Amino acid sequence: MLLRLTLLLALLVPAPLFAAQRIVTLATLTDFIPFCFKKEQAVEIAGEVIAPGQDSQQLQGYSWDVVRASFHAMGYTIQLYIVPWERAVHYLNTGKVDAIFPANRTQEREKTYQFSQGVVDEMRMVVYIPFDSTLNWNGLESLNGLRVAAVRGWSYGEKWVKNQYIIKERTDSILQSFMILDKKRLAGVVGYEAAYDYALKEAKIIHKYRKVGPFETIYEYLMSKKETAGGATALEIFNSGRAQITKNGTLAAITAKWLN
């Protein structure tokens, strides 16, 4: 909606003046290291405006750098909201933002949302269990009938969604999941390997657990609501920008910075 209004203004404002006013409005989450997470001692800025060549004062990470560089390559300013994932989805559903990221595609989501062609990030899905666990891993079915933590509102891939026999314990954060696991109320914690490893290393507790899997590799995208011109345009802009940063080497530099 917001992007559609911005594009409509382009017909009314002289081109040189409007060139600096092309804006896409996005929302993302935090606490998703190293993909999207807050800078240390950052002050919260609602609807932060980030022009080409600038960076966020509060957000950092691989996925953010990919999205920012892609839109900036196309000359677009980003208006950014950083909120819990469920609120980001609410912002998208109510038209407050044009798109949200990073989101993986599921059959359920595809009923309501559309996705970019360009990938924002990719990662392996694993299960963390206590180091001394006696679990005999043979795929997700090994967890049938057991309690496994998953952060509320996050998607862990189609295989996780389709398994109706695991008792899925919803939590508010990565570290809360492991606090409950430590109390022996869970058999394991399902997680995005790179993000969860980073969080456990930062908390200096990674030695307490071991990983089984992976059971699936998922790709995440920019997501907008279907049948909205602004959302479709945002995806097209991102796709073109991502192709540019792939060609000019920016994407390789972002990967080297965060994932190598």
Domain chopping of the chain, boundaries: 2-121+219-258, 123-218
What is the pLDDT at residue 21?
66
- Superfamily of domain covering 2-121+219-258: Periplasmic binding protein-like II (3.40.190.10)
Identical topology for domains 2-121+219-258 and 123-218 = yes
For residue 132, pLDDT beyond 70: yes
CATH architecture of the domain formed by 123-218: 3-Layer(aba) Sandwich (3.40)
Mean pLDDT of the chain: 91
What is the pLDDT at residue 55?
98
Q: Which of 13-27, 32-46, 129-143, 176-190 has the lowest mean pLDDT?
A: 13-27
Contact by Cβ (8 Å): 231, 168: no
For residue 7, pLDDT beyond 90: no
Pick the more confident residue, 182 or 41. Answer: 182
Task: Give the tokens for residue 106.
Answer: 């599921």
Pick the more confident residue, 54 or 158. Answer: 54
Query: For residue 105, how many other CB atoms are within 10 A of its CB?
Result: 18
For residue 153, pLDDT beyond 90: no
What is the pLDDT at residue 195?
87
Q: What is the mean pLDDT of residues 212-222?
A: 95
How confident is the model over 18-75, as pLDDT tens digits?
Answer: 344 699 999 999 878 889 999 989 999 999 999 999 999 999 999 999 999 999 999 9
Q: What is the mean pLDDT of residues 193-220?
A: 94
Pick the more confident residue, 215 or 18. Answer: 215
